[in-house]
Copies of this chain bind each other. A is one copy, B any other.
Amino acid sequence: MKFNFLYPVVQKDIEAIEVELKQAVSNADAETTSASALHLLEAGGKRIRPMFVCLTARLGEPKDFSLVRDAAVAIELIHMASIVHDDVVDDAELRRGRQTIKAIWGNHIAMYTGDFLFAKSLEYMTKIDNIKAHQMLSAVTVELAVGEIEQIKDKFNFNQSVRSYLRRIKRKTALLIAASSGLGGILADLPDKMDDQLYLFGYYVGMAFQITDDILDFMATERVLGKPAGEDLRQGNITLPVFFAMRDPLLKKRISRVTEDSTDEEITHLVDAIKASGAIEESEQVATAYLKKAMAILDTFPSSKEIKPLKQIVKMLDKREY
């Protein structure tokens, strides 16, 4: 899903950020580091986080827009770092249809490539002389790591609460998108109250974004996902559709039998049963509810050519299929 064609206002920013991202990971003194990081960069991505930084910043009048782009680059580098480490833990061979860093260079290089990307993000953040921005980003980064650890701990735990799932996706995904959106406001010197609203907007979008990802893991084909369907369940990651499906005691009994040794056939049968249970539709409703809350926040802002693309993104995220 590419969003940027929608709004020329942000096209230039995104192009500048792509150039800067490439420069950030290029290091003549460290061939392997550069090669693995560039590989990931070239796999592309929605760049939704840098887009939010730029779009929310344009709601105000940032003194120096190049700093907004630096913040956008920093956030995308943090996101990229977390992706690389995710792929190690998920033992993922494919991401966006391309081989992962861990598949090509192995787990150890992948781990340090993540560290490198994370460290690089700091270099970009050092340019930004704003304590609130730094506090927001460091707090979110801590939660990101905690979320990943909790996810590992909760694997194959079929008696966890929906609350623990929501807290996990908040930490893993929603907070970084919240920070992307909040950061733009901060750098544009918007009033604190508006920054907080933009942060909350990003949080709602982020929750919907992850829930939709979790739905797509059941619904999409391997061709679209760039990875096999049902992968979350196979890994023991209990996501929202599974919680809804498990309200049926018989289905819960079957799902609870999933282990690391479950066969592809068993997983496929369960995926079909979960899809037939209505759990997907219920999960979609939750995602839509979050997006509605996000939209309600945007509605409190005066209409402008800057608010429009944000609204368009929210609309496109509703029931996205890829």
Chain A interface residues (CB < 8 Å from chain B): 27, 29-33, 36, 85, 88-89, 107-109, 111-116, 118-120, 122-123, 125-126, 129, 131, 134-135, 137-139, 141-142, 144-146, 148-150, 152-153
Q: Contact at B112–A148, with CB atoms within 8 Å?
A: yes
Q: Contact at B32–A116, with CB atoms within 8 Å?
A: no
Q: Contact at B134–A115, with CB atoms within 8 Å?
A: no
Q: Which residues of B contact A31 (CB under 8 A)?
A: 153
Instruction: From B108, B126, B149, give the contact of A88 (CB < 8 A).
Output: B108
Q: Contact at B118–A149, with CB atoms within 8 Å?
A: no
Closest residue to A116 on the B side, CB-wise? B145
Closest residue to A126 on the B side, CB-wise? B134
Q: Contact at A88–B111, with CB atoms within 8 Å?
A: yes
The residue among A27, A36, A89, A138 with the most chain B CB atoms within 10 A of its own CB is: A138
Closest residue to A167 on the B side, CB-wise? B29
Closest residue to A148 on the B side, CB-wise? B112
Chain A binding surface SS class: helix
Q: Contact at B119–A149, with CB atoms within 8 Å?
A: no
How many copies of this chain are found per oligomer?
2
A119-B138, A119-B142 known, 13 other contacts, Cβ within 8 Å: A30-B146, A32-B152, A33-B146, A33-B150, A36-B149, A89-B108, A89-B112, A115-B118, A115-B145, A116-B146, A119-B145, A122-B138, A122-B142
Instruction: From B108, B120, B134, B144, give the contact of A119 (CB < 8 A).
Output: B144
- With contacts A122-B137, A134-B126 taken as known, whether A32 is within 8 angstroms of B115 at the C-beta atoms is no
Q: How far is the CB of A237 from chain B (nearest CB, A)?
A: 13
The residue among A120, A146, A148 with the most chain B CB atoms within 10 A of its own CB is: A146
Instruction: From B32, B119, B135, B152, give the contact of A126 (CB < 8 A).
Output: B135
Q: Which residues of B contact A119 (CB under 8 A)?
A: 138, 141-142, 144-145
Q: Contact at A149–B107, with CB atoms within 8 Å?
A: no
Closest residue to A133 on the B side, CB-wise? B126
Closest residue to A108 on the B side, CB-wise? B89
A88 to B137 Cα, complex, angstroms: 27
Q: Which residues of B contact A149 (CB under 8 A)?
A: 30, 32-33, 36, 109, 112-113, 116
